[in-house]
Amino acid sequence: MKNTIIKHMDEDSIKIDDIKIFANILKEKGTVIFPTETVYGIGANALDIESAKKIYEAKGRPSDNPLICHIGRKNQVYDIAREVDEKSKVLIDKFWPGPLTIILKKKEHVPNITTGGLDTVAIRMPKNNIANLLLRESNVIVAAPSANISGRPSPTTPEHVISEMNGRVDGIIVSKICDVGLESTVIDMTLDIPTILRPGKITLSDLKSVLKEVIIDPAILKKEQNLIAKAPGMKYTHYSPNAKIIIIRKKDKSIEEKIKNLILNIVDENKKIAIMSMEDDLEKYQKLNSLVFNLGKNLDEVAKNLFYTLKKLDDNNIDVAYCPYFEGDGISVAIMNRLLKASGYTVLES
């Protein structure tokens, strides 16, 4: 067990002396968990092998999974990318700082442990003020995967980070619940056609507004094993709570009728059942006599609350949780990508 330094910070009134404590840990090859606008990240020096190894140790993650390099200034992209093409420059101008990770050809000195042995590197400039100040003050390029133990939902709240990672890292900065709630959109700019490898808050249509051509990797919403995911992180089980998640997609009957029937068919009376619901539907699900978790008023709120709610299912010892399918091609693509993984691709039609 490490003796973890934990500090609470408010994004609007950050004390630079506090930031310096954690910047020094990064400079001295330690690990620091910090908030970003997407999820909490566990960071260490991306260009130092010994530091990067500590991330894998803390997460218990397989070491062939490449990490995202976080920068505090746009021009640091040239420290690690061999070249930045015109289209990528447009993306950087439009979306950085923000929840977009760009994959480019790497420079020689970026170690294999950070890139998972690939000749490309994933780079992102977070928008959160605490993250930005920490990156600038340390002047370190920071590899930072989500701050969860491998295979568990990404943490978006201080309680989740501390309960899961206290003692596993050198420092933890906690703030509030993360604004976006889902990890950054990942786009590979080294392919012939720019390809979204992980959907997020920056959607296909956001990217189409500035790039002529962009596609979504077909592996994103499918389970098929033979589709080799281009983002190696996607091949591991991810986001799994202990509860069994079952997604219900509207077809003939109403979703609540389908859930009602499913609940009636559960023979084991000791099973703890929950329903995840948008705010407008809370009442009709409450009538089904199970715990109902509010995902929020709109899809942005669903994204923000999703991992937090998966964590709450576990905290409440839920065995089975039903959740409606979120249709549409905006942020719902990212929500469904995470939900499908959390459910082991269990989708029933109503």
Q: How far is CA 85 from CA 82, 94, 109, 115, 189, in A?
A: 10, 15, 20, 20, 8
Q: Does 232 bind ligand TXA (CB under 6 A)?
A: yes
Q: Does 175 bind ligand TXA (CB under 6 A)?
A: no
Which residues make beta-bridge pairs with 123? Answer: 69, 102
Question: Coil, strand, or helix at residue 100?
Answer: strand
Q: Does 233 bind ligand TXA (CB under 6 A)?
A: yes
User: How far is 213 from 202, CA to CA, in rounded Å?
Assistant: 15
Residue nearer to Mg ion on the CB measure, 156 or 305: 156
| Stretch near Mg ion under the rule CB under 5 A, chosen from 21-29, 44-52, 141-149, 332-340 | 141-149
| Stretch near ligand TXA under the rule CB under 6 A, chosen from 230-238, 247-255, 287-295, 342-350 | 230-238
Q: Does 111 bind ligand TXA (CB under 6 A)?
A: no
Give the residue ranges of DSSP H helices in 12-116. Answer: 16-27, 49-59, 77-80, 86-95, 112-115
Pairing mode, if any, of strands 32-34 and 41-45?
Answer: antiparallel
The residue whose two tokens read 């979120």 is 326
Q: One symbol per residue from 259 to 298: x for binding ligand TXA (CB under 6 A), - otherwise; what is it?
A: ----------------------------------------
Q: Does 184 bind ligand TXA (CB under 6 A)?
A: yes
Q: One symbol per residue from 58 to 97: x for binding ligand TXA (CB under 6 A), - otherwise; what is it?
A: -------xxxx-----------------------------
Q: One symbol per residue from 170 to 209: x for binding Mg ion (CB under 5 A), - otherwise; what is it?
A: ----------------------------------------
CA-closest candidate to residue 247, choices 225, 262, 269:
262
Span 119-138, contacts to ligand TXA by CB under 6 A? 120-122, 124, 126
Q: Does 115 bind ligand TXA (CB under 6 A)?
A: yes
CB 264, CB 340: distance < 8 Å: no
> Which residue in 234, 292, 295, 340 binds ligand TXA (CB under 6 A)?
234
Q: Does 36 bind Mg ion (CB under 5 A)?
A: no
The residue whose two tokens read 């098929």 is 224
Q: Does 231 bind ligand TXA (CB under 6 A)?
A: yes
CA-closest candidate to residue 95, choices 135, 130, 127:
127
CA-closest candidate to residue 331, choices 291, 295, 294:
295
Please say whether the dihedral angle defined by the alpha carbons of residues 16, 22, 26 and 28, taken in this order, is positive or negative: positive
Q: Does 44 bind ligand TXA (CB under 6 A)?
A: no
Structure tokens at 55: 């991330």
> Which residue in 23, 33, 38, 173 binds ligand TXA (CB under 6 A)?
38
The residue whose two tokens read 């079952």 is 246
Q: Does 38 bind Mg ion (CB under 5 A)?
A: no
User: How far is 345 from 259, CA to CA, in rounded Å?
Assistant: 17
Shortest distance, position 126 Cβ to ligand TXA, whole Å: 6
Span 294-323, contacts to ligand TXA by CB under 6 A? none
Positions touching ligand TXA (CB under 6 A) are 36, 38-39, 41, 65-68, 101, 103, 115, 118, 120-122, 124, 126, 144-146, 183-184, 186, 197-198, 230-234
